[in-house]
Amino acid sequence: MKKIYWPWLTIALVFLMTRTAYCDEATDWNRYLLESLRATNASAQAATRSAAIVHVAVADAVNGIDRRYNSIRVQPDAARSASRRAAAVQAAYAVMVRLFPTRQVILNANRQISLDRITHDHSDPQVGSIQAGIEWGQKVADAIWEWRSTDGLSISLPPFLGGSAPGQWRPTPPDSSPGAAVQFATMTPWVIPSPSYFRPDPPPALNSDRYTADFNEVKTKGSATGARTAEQTLSVFFWASTTPTYLWNTAATTLAARRHTGLSENARLLAVLNLAMADATIGCWDAKYVYEFWRPLTAITLADDDGNPATLSDSTWAPLIPTPAHPEYPSGHSCNSAAGAAVLARYFGDYNRLTLKSEVMFGISRSFHSFSAALEDVKDARVFGGIHFRSACEAGQKLGIQIANYVMQHFLLP
């Protein structure tokens, strides 16, 4: 496939499995995190939780020495002479070896590289306090791990199979798997007061004009042989190829490098970004399992039973991309991408020309003149992929933006 190029291309977000140029410990360990998420095939939901654990630990470790912002969980209690850089390394390492135990050998090597760099950096006045930084970073990591180990992820719940009423979700082909990640619907949030705090209004009624319009749009444009342009089809596969965690973290570190922000600022940025996305997942999954709305695949093949004469069934209809195994409303990608983009727009301004690259679709990119434009592309991609109604994407983006704004208004303030 040809590489898509726009004349306003100014930012290239490239994921390298080999080592790239050093920025700082927060951004280096963000890269190691993304590598580990990919290597362990983490789900999009699990990725938001893991990223938040890592970057909350890094932020509280660095801030415990700098004391520039209010803390997230661990109150500042480190010696001012302790190395911020060593604290960041140890905090990230100590939680990542717990999150990714099969990657311990690689993470050990990453840690050694990071600490060796600090040791040999004679321009850093904190080099002599590396051990104090390591001890503080470990203390913070232990506290964050203990806190989130009781967040509800490990609760065993019965398989969720939905129901058979019109509009109600049920397992979809080809795997017909039970609803995924049910625990995220009731997980303890990081920042927002409860999973339901920003719960969206219900999806449109099956006999409403809005549902009819949504139904006919996805039926026409979202099928495997739908009426899409080549560009729209490319967009569908691009956004489905990787997780929002990868895309928006990579965008954050690229923009931060261009602005030449330092360790404290980057630790804060990545913590706020991943807190917003983690809570957006929890808020989104709360709504999914409250409303239990059916997917387009079910709706279109069973339209004769929905009580709406304006929606016509097609028993042979199939979506362009596989339907995820969880209820439709709201869109998870829309929730997470909106949360991530809202944080970055607040930090860097909405009108940032950027080019996003997938970690697996090499040579393929999506270019935008703003974060808002990127979010419009996400909405279209989920509809044109045949897995969401447009109402679910709009509700998801509203929820993600609300949660991002709440996080930025309440945590890691100067």
Condensed to tens digits (0 to 9), the pLDDT of residues 264-283 reads 999 999 999 999 999 999 99
Condensed to tens digits (0 to 9), the pLDDT of residues 94-143 reads 999 999 999 999 999 999 999 999 998 866 655 669 999 999 999 999 99
Q: Look at residue 387 and tell me if it is in a domain.
A: yes
Residue-level pLDDT at 124: 62
Q: Look at residue 337 and tell me if it is in a domain.
A: yes
Specify whether the CB–CB gap between 366 and 374 falls below 8 A: yes
Residue-level pLDDT at 197: 98
Q: Look at residue 5 and tell me if it is in a domain.
A: no
Of 3 and 345, which is predicted with more confidence?
A: 345
- Structural domain total, the chain: 1
Residue-level pLDDT at 281: 98
Q: Look at residue 76 and tell me if it is in a domain.
A: yes
Mean pLDDT of 227-249: 95
The 8 Å CB, 24+ separation contacts for 14-18 are: 14/357, 15/246, 15/250, 15/357, 15/359
Q: Look at residue 206 and tell me if it is in a domain.
A: yes
pLDDT at 16 over 50: no
Q: Look at residue 357 and tell me if it is in a domain.
A: yes
Whether the bond between 174 and the residue before it is cis, its omega within 30 degrees of 0, is yes
Distance in angstroms (rounded) separating the CA atoms of residues 30 and 16:
12
Q: Look at residue 308 and tell me if it is in a domain.
A: yes
Of 321 and 69, which is predicted with more confidence?
A: 321
pLDDT at 363 over 90: no
DSSP code string of 150-203:
TSSTT---PPP----STTB----TTT-PPPS-GGGGTSPPSSSSSTTTTPPPPP
Residue 320: which CATH number?
A: 1.10.606.20
Angle separating helix axes 332-348 and 371-384, nearest 10 degrees = 170
Torsion-angle region of 177 (φ positive above 0: left; ψ -120 to 50: alpha; else: beta)? beta
Considering the entire predicted model, what is its pTM?
A: 0.91
Domain span including residue 249: 25-410
Q: Look at residue 8 and tell me if it is in a domain.
A: no
